[in-house]
Structure 1
Amino acid sequence: MKILKIFYYLFFICIAVIIVLLIASAFPIPGNYKVMIVQSGSMEPTIKTGAVVVVKPRVEYKVGDIVTFNQEGSSKKTVTHRIVEMREKDGAVAFVTKGDANNGTDQREIKKQEILGKMLFDVPYVGYAIAAAKTPYGFMALIVFPALIIIFDEIKKIRDEIRKSKQKKFESERFDPVEIEPERKEFVRREPEKYARKTKII
């Protein structure tokens, strides 16, 4: 039973984490933090495919920083790569980026204003669950499954309480005290074999 309870609580902790990250990936977070899902293996083994990365804008970026920026021609798709070189371009700094697993650098250089933030940390594989939760069926599963578990758990608790109540009632009726000497107010229990009532416990 203890093992089942541990799994029970771990399951709901995981659900809570997924919900928090799902909300964080869809809405702005105080402090200008952003939550992104890594959808490719270009940064492996540093960042696994399906990981969630938390990024925050910095005043300055340097070589070695892992940064997230918008993919060229898209404001919704992002890339998380490492800065490997800094160059002067038109009086401004341009950053050359590269995925740790890629053989060559990215084709285009990025400007500072294109960077969404520097990666602070990542959570492996959670991105798969968040991506699934963003689909209609995944979102329903995220709500329905925990709700069903809670309902079944409450039904089980109610059933156990009913059984305990019936058991106590049976025991009290089986061993009712009988007054044998009124002047002394002394009581004895009836003999169970002789006076036991036929009661079925459910």
Structure 2
Amino acid sequence: MIRKNLKKKISREDKEPIPKKKIAIAIFLITFAFFGSYLIYFILQIAFNTPTPLVVVVSESMEPTYNKGDILFVQGKDPEDIKVGDVIVYDAEGLWEGAPEDPIVHRVIDKYEEDGKIYFETRGDANNLKDEEPVPQNRVLGVVVGHIPYLGWVKIILTDLGLLIPVIIILSVPLVVSILWDLFKEEAEEEREKSIKQESTKPIQLPRKKFIPKIEQEEQEEDDFDF
């Protein structure tokens, strides 16, 4: 009886840390699912030396070099190292009236220095006119160094429809549910296996045989002979 109670006590003590461990793993995986993309983007920012390492082309101004929907890889560069002919990405917001909020991807057609600051004149490959204002060096986000064709169309469509955030949430919910389900299902299976193992280690009690004293047995045999 003491041994059985001791086994139960040890089993309960061993069981307590398991839910905490599972919950910790679940929290980590869910957090990574939500913020993993930000971590990857942060790594890209460091690797490409720019706050905007990825840009989606949202217009036809750079066709046929880059098409609408292409994803561009942007490398940060010292303004002095940027040459005429390079395709740069720059922040145009506020440079002229009606300038877009999204970064502009255009080719450098001229470069000059004024009052110790470098300026770039730019134009889209599909445009006849250059951009309205020269781009000061502090507005340049980087130079285009590579691209993935058309993959950015998903973002463009979802953003235009106002569905980007809802779709991200909808896709994240099944992932979170799946993570939790797998973790707690595994825990339930472990508990079931422990229970089966404990049941199998219990001693088997056999029915007791009736004990007949030897003297009584001999007397019974003598009576049988007398008969």
TM-score normalized by structure 2? 0.49
Partner of 2:20: none
Q: Which has the higher helix share?
A: 2
CA distance in 2, matches of 1:96, 1:141: 43
Does 1:30 find its partner at 2:46?
A: yes
Q: Which structure has the larger Rg over C-alpha atoms?
A: 2
Does 1:65 find its partner at 2:86?
A: yes
Runs of 4 or more consecutive aligned structure 1 residues displaced over 3 Å after TM superposition? 21-28, 140-148
Does the aligned pair in 1 maintain the 2:88–2:142 contact within 8 Å? Answer: yes
CA distance in 2, matches of 1:99, 1:128: 20
Q: Secondary structure at the match of 1:63?
A: coil
Partner of 1:40: 59
Q: 1:45 to 1:88 in 2, by over 3 A?
A: same
Gaps of 5+ in 2: 1-33, 179-227
Aligned length: 133
Gaps of 5+ in 1: 1-18, 151-202
Q: In the alignment, residue 130 of structure 2 is paired with which amino acid?
A: T
In the alignment, which of 104, 108, 115 is matched to residue 83 of structure 1?
A: 108
Partner of 1:188: none
Does the aligned pair in 1 maintain the 2:61–2:125 contact within 8 Å? Answer: yes
Q: Which has the higher strand share?
A: 1
Q: Which moved more, 1:132-141 or 1:43-52?
A: 132-141
Matches within 5 A, 1:80-159: 80-131=105-156, 132=158, 135-143=164-172
TM-superposed deviation, 1:144:
6.3
Residues 70-101 of structure 1 deviation map (CA, whole Å, 9 limit, x = unaligned) = 02328952101000111232343211000000
Q: Secondary structure at the match of 1:30?
A: helix
CA distance in 1, matches of 2:129, 2:39: 33
CA distance in 2, matches of 1:25, 1:90: 38
